[in-house]
Amino acid sequence: MDWSELGLRMGLEIHQQLNTKSKLFCPCATELVDEMFDEEIKRNLRPTQSELGQIDRAALQESFRKMKFNYEAYYYHTCLVETDDEPPHSLNQEALELSMVIATLLNMQIVDEFHTMRKQVIDGSNTGGFQRTGLVATTGYLDTPHGKVTIENLCLEEDASKRIAIDIKNNQSTSAEDYTHFRLDRLGIPLVEITTDPSIYHPEQVKEVAYALGQVLRSTNVKRGLGTIRQDLNISIAKGARCEIKGVQNLDLMPKIVENEVQRQLKLIEIKEELQKRNAKVLDEIHDLNIIFKNSSSKIISRAESVKGIVLKGFAGLIGEEVQEGRRFGTEIASYAKKRGVSGIFHTDELPAYGITAEEVESMKSHLNVDDDDAIIIVAHNEEIAISALEEVIRRANMAFEGVIEETRKSLDDGNTEYMRPLPTSSRMYLETDIPLFKIEEDSIENIKNNLPELPDVKKERIIKEYSLSDDLANQLVRRLRADDFEYIVSKIEGSNIDSTTIASVLAYDLREIKREGYNVSNVNNESLISIFNLLADSKISKDAINKIIIAISENPTLDPEEIAKNNNLLVLDENEVLNIIADVVAKNSSMVEERKMGAMGPLMGMAMGKLKGKADGKLVNKLLKNEIEKLI
């Protein structure tokens, strides 16, 4: 595709948890809890009007779902602030200073006052129906291989509750008595939200920007691991509209997500133009179809209390149109209906199917008096939910005449996306009355500028020069967040006969491979690695023994590396013992030596190393083997 001609514009939102001692507005720890909760709190949430009398459209749509929420809390890990039963405490200054460090690294202008705002969110992720957030800095930039990208804003805010599960009382819907479950241990963890402007113009560039931002963040004191960083992607094309893709976890998948979203928007524009040509129309009447399907053999239909349908004039053939790989326009419509509690819809572009016969389809068309160019959409459920779902279908079908509509969509593992809710509006923001503004002094900004952490690219170039590492090895240490560990271990190794490349390779590659084999390498701390490398420096073990000792410690971190080496016969032999084994290998293969001369080095080296089983250094074995072969030739 010609991205420039399409007018592709993209922006990123990065959400990163900060590794502070306490939460943003209470003293609770910021670690997640892996144990049974102590109490449950049940809540309902509803949207409220702004001071101008407006209601945020995203909050309004969430309210139509009539959801109830159950929050799991702890006596010792959460407090009354998380349950919204106590006013927030003072702003966490550690979190504010850390967000200012990140802003400075991104060349941003820090504000002179931090104002805490309430952002209305009623999807259940916050007990009070709002998230506390505040602007820290504006107008920065980031250099990328595709050019400079503007960083618009950096905000400091509370992370949301962690969704646990949904209780379903029947196989078809979430009834009024069902609850969506959240856990409060994550609520309130300090989080920075970094927003770029929409100047990213190529699918590969957005991946580069996300990676570069991640590297900047990881040079500071942020949390690491699954779920601690989340990326949202804003995408639009010239004739389309801005859509926000939430929860993009895999950076390698980003280009595909962009391409699929562009394809979706182009297809929706095509459908819009075709509907206009056909003078298509959405009829608002919802029809009762129980009499048509009274004796239906379809299991879904027969289990339902009620079957309802609507007519879409001129939509025939378009509902089955593919808008993304494996996803059709009917899937787009169905995703709206699902928000009202149904598992899906039927439409005449795909019928007969699902147990619905051709005779039933023809009978339904005749009953509703539709033409060949018309489509029918059916929902089977209890009457209230069926009507509610079809009202959403009517609303989404009418949007088809606009082409692409502004939406918040969820990222899927296959690179496609799915509708979540409308884009929020400014009507959801208002000032937090319980927290005073926090003045940011110029002296504190200057102090931060004078004590910035080392950026990844700078660190990479430095360790290449200081430790004579290859570009690839240094790059892997930095990418895998092992550069600081590497420098610390090197500083603690006694003796000079172990090169830094060996240490770097273990950290950058070997630990990763051992982890892939299923071992818990998080049990192997720097002190254990220092002990292992000191054994190597003292010539007590060979390089071949390192991974075996690491595996043993990953299974039992209390073990001593030297004891592991002794108990597993991994301590190296002295030179005389090594020489005797090599001499025996050469003597048994003297005919090979006479025939190949020094060409026998390769196969005999393999035999010798096999006999020694990692209990001798390869350089020593090579030297002694060469001497023994020379004696025979």
- pLDDT for 421 equals 87
Cα distance between the two ends of the chain: 67
- pLDDT for 96 equals 98
For residue range 500-533, list pLDDT tens digits in order.
Answer: 999 999 999 999 999 999 999 999 999 999 999 9
Nearest CA to 126 among 49, 43, 191? 43
Distance from C-alpha of 38 to C-alpha of 567, rounded to nearest angstrom: 46
DSSP letters for 264-296: HHHHHHHHHHHHHHTT-EE--PPEE-TTTTTT-
Pairing, β 327-328 against β 322-324: antiparallel
Distance from C-alpha of 160 to C-alpha of 137, rounded to nearest angstrom: 22
Contact assessment for residue 19 and residue 223, using Cβ atoms and an 8 Å cutoff = yes
| Per-residue DSSP letter, 110 | E
Nearest CA to 216 among 19, 444, 445, 454? 454
Q: Which residues pair with 135 in a beta bridge?
A: 155
Residue-wise burial string across 396-410, b where 16 or more C-beta atoms lie within 10 A, e elsewhere: bbebbeebbbbbbbe
Give the sign of the dihedral formed by CA 564, CA 569, CA 573, CA 579. negative
- pLDDT for 404 equals 97
Distance from C-alpha of 188 to C-alpha of 161, rounded to nearest angstrom: 8
Contact assessment for residue 265 and residue 245, using Cβ atoms and an 8 Å cutoff = no
Give the sign of the dihedral formed by CA 413, CA 415, CA 419, CA 420. positive
Residue type, 127: T
- pLDDT for 169 equals 42
- pLDDT for 48 equals 64
Residue type, 410: K
- pLDDT for 46 equals 67
DSSP letters for 153-185: EEEEEEPPPEEEEE--SSSS---TT-EEEEETT
CA-to-CA dists, residue 234 to 13, 205, 243, 423, 428, angstroms: 8, 13, 6, 11, 19
3-state secondary structure of 381: strand
Contacts of 627 (CB under 8 A, 6+ apart): none
Nearest CA to 355 among 378, 328, 327? 378
**Mind listing the domains of the chain with CATH numbers?**
3-23+38-242 (no CATH), 273-408 (3.30.1360.30), 457-567 (no CATH), 575-632 (1.10.10)
- Output phi, psi for 275, to 5 deg: -65, -40
3-state secondary structure 569-607: CCCCCCHHHHHHHHHHHHHHCHHHHHHHHHHHHHHHHHH
Residues of the chain falling short of pLDDT 50: 167-176
């003297």: which residue's tokens? 590
DSSP letters for 543-568: GGGHHHHHHHHHH-TTS-HHHHHHHT
Cis bond before residue 255 (omega within 30° of 0): no
Tokens of 589: 């293969």
Contacts of 158 (CB under 8 A, 6+ apart): 23, 24, 25, 126, 131, 132, 133, 187, 188, 189, 190, 191
CA 470 to chain centre: 30
3-state secondary structure of 618: helix
Distance from C-alpha of 422 to C-alpha of 18, rounded to nearest angstrom: 29
- pLDDT for 172 equals 37
Distance from C-alpha of 283 to C-alpha of 398, rounded to nearest angstrom: 9
The angle at the Cα of 192, spanning 189 to 198, to the nearest 5 degrees, equals 145
Distance from C-alpha of 316 to C-alpha of 559, rounded to nearest angstrom: 70
Contact assessment for residue 295 and residue 355, using Cβ atoms and an 8 Å cutoff = no
Contact assessment for residue 132 and residue 116, using Cβ atoms and an 8 Å cutoff = yes
CA-to-CA dists, residue 254 to 8, 171, 247, angstroms: 14, 35, 11
- pLDDT for 570 equals 87
Residue type, 388: S
CA-to-CA dists, residue 552 to 149, 533, 566, 573, angstroms: 47, 15, 12, 21
Pairing, β 162-166 against β 438-439: unpaired
- pLDDT for 173 equals 36
- Output phi, psi for 198, to 5 deg: -85, 50
Nearest CA to 15 among 227, 242, 244? 227
